[in-house]
A and B are shown apart, each in its own frame.
Chain A
Amino acid sequence: MGLDFSVIPKYLDIVLLGAVWTIAITIGAAVVSFFGGILLAVIALYAPKIIRWPFQAFSFLFLGTPLLLQLFLIYFGLVQIGIDVPAFMAGVIGLGLHFAVYNSELFQTSILAVDKGQAEAARTLGLSRMQTLRKVVVPQAVRDVIPPIGNNMIALLKDSALVSVIGVSELTLSAQRAIGSTYRPFEFYVLVAAIYYIINLVMEAVLRHVERRIQVSR
């Protein structure tokens, strides 16, 4: 059986719709992982023990177990205790929290690396600890850690394929569906790989743009 890419146009709309879902999940989870990561970092560094410990246990759980298992748990497991999370939401939350834990490690390092004089200057003006963190320290820490956070977001895009296992019709699952009707795995997997690659390129372009924009504010 030779290759026949002429089957693609008929299924292109399904695949492109899958791409839209992939982008939506990636954006949703990226937002959760970004703000969740900042929150976790601030808690890890500054919260009293009684708040810090449960969050650290939670982080450890997310770091130490497979993402696949976490998605199963959120989607299939929580229903049993009465929490019915729709598949898309389960994907966004699972991916988002998983990467929030990774991002938190980066944010913690960069928060600690912000020059001590910055917080001192803010405190001398009369800002509280919280105000100093929010307006002076965290914005600079975020700015300094954009490149590695961007890499995490690209890893997140790739891991979003895992969400197919809980039935979200994202890119990978829609390819499988097209393959199910056409028996043309090579053609569709190549197509889907190309689409992931294009999304990836766009993300990197956005990232470079952001990096250039913040250059002057160092």
Chain B
Amino acid sequence: MSNPHPFVDIRHAQKSFGTLEVLKDISLQVDRGQIVAIIGPSGSGKSTLLRAINDLDPLTGGEIWLEDKQINKSLPYRQYEKNINDVRQEIGMVFQHFNLFPHLKVRENVTLAPKMLKGLSDTEANALAEEQLTKVGMIERIDYYPSQLSGGQKQRVAIARALAMKPKVMLFDEATSALDPELVEEVNLVMKKLAEEDMTMIIVTHEMGFAESVCDRVLFMDQGVVVEEGPPDVIFRNPKNERTRNFLRKHLAGAAS
């Protein structure tokens, strides 16, 4: 094997909050350019797993690797901080509630991290912001504050902010579920565009149609375990596991009503 590690490698991830076991021995390998969707009922541990990937919710057991670097390595405080800040630069994350910085204009939201962490000059940072905001179709709003944008626009800016760090992987935690239905599509289009550019992505979503159309692989999680995983047409059209079938049936009924 030329590459001993898959691109993102989650090995036997375990996570407990106190006595509550939220992730029970989850393993997941994602190759470069792959797009993986994680679906499952509320409380099944999807966000926890995604947040473990950049150590926002550190695991209580198991390992997480990005290429040849272990993300959750236990190190003395200072070394840990340095290590984690370096890896996090390579992992973009998009949150359900956008988490744009409200005190900064769109432009500064995008340039803040590149300027602080990569030492970009104002000119370079501006060019970068313009490039990323053009990609997500938000260049016209570059001098607006987040409070002046719609939810869909905020989320597109949040994606541009993450992309500006030139991450190797993008994590999406229900990027569209806080949006009004008519604003979902504009964000989905941006994510599809990233997929076409072969961005590696892990997407937690409740939108089965979207997952089916962009993802290479789907994981169905329930109560902290991966119940079933496979290509989208199998998981969505022909799931083998009873729990997967029940979830999808309920979910489709819910979405239709």
Contact = CB atoms under 8 A, between A and B. Distances in A.
Interface stretch (B37-45, B83-91, B183-191, B249-257): B83-91
Contact of B103 (A124, A129, A140): A140
B64 interface: no
Interface stretch (B21-29, B93-101, B194-202, B213-221): B93-101
Interface stretch (A82-90, A99-107, A131-139): A131-139
Nearest to A116: B99
B142 interface: no
B162 interface: yes
Interface stretch (B67-75, B111-119, B240-248): B111-119
A126 B101 contact: no
B107 to A, nearest CB: 13
A8 interface: no
A3 interface: no
A124 B56 contact: yes
A128 B85 contact: yes
B234 to A, nearest CB: 32
Given A120-B95, A135-B112, A217 B102 contact: yes
A124 B162 CA distance: 9
B15 interface: no
B162 A125 contact: yes
A143 B85 contact: no
A124 B91 contact: yes
A218 B165 CA distance: 25
Contacts of B101: 118, 121-122, 136, 140
Which of A117, A126, A143 has the most chain B CB within a 10 Å cutoff?
Answer: A126
Contacts of A120: 56, 95, 99
Interface in B51-89: 54, 56, 81, 85-86, 88-89
Contact-residue size bin, chain A (C-beta under 8 Å from the other chain): 20 to 34
A216 interface: yes
A12 interface: no
B161 interface: yes
A114 B163 CA distance: 25
Contact of B148 (A115, A122, A139, A216): A216
Given A216-B145, A216-B148, A217-B147, A127 B113 contact: yes
B210 to A, nearest CB: 23
A123 interface: yes
Which of A118, A120, A124, A218 has the most chain B CB within a 10 Å cutoff?
Answer: A124
A5 B161 CA distance: 65
Contacts of A117: 95, 97, 99
A124 B148 CA distance: 24
Contacts of A118: 99, 101
B95 A121 contact: yes
A131 B89 CA distance: 14
Contacts of B116: 127, 131, 135
A126 B113 CA distance: 7
A125 B166 CA distance: 10
Contacts of B95: 117, 120-121
Nearest to A214: B103
A126 B104 CA distance: 18
Across the A-B interface, the 5 shortest Cβ-Cβ residue pairs: A126-B89, A121-B99, A125-B113, A117-B99, A124-B93
30 contacts: A115-B99, A120-B99, A123-B56, A123-B88, A124-B54, A124-B56, A124-B91, A124-B92, A124-B162, A125-B112, A125-B113, A125-B117, A125-B162, A125-B165, A126-B165, A127-B85, A127-B112, A127-B117, A128-B81, A128-B85, A131-B116, A135-B116, A136-B112, A139-B103, A140-B102, A143-B103, A214-B103, A216-B147, A216-B148, A217-B104
Given A136-B112, A217-B104, 7 more contacts: A117-B99, A120-B56, A121-B101, A124-B162, A125-B113, A125-B117, A125-B165
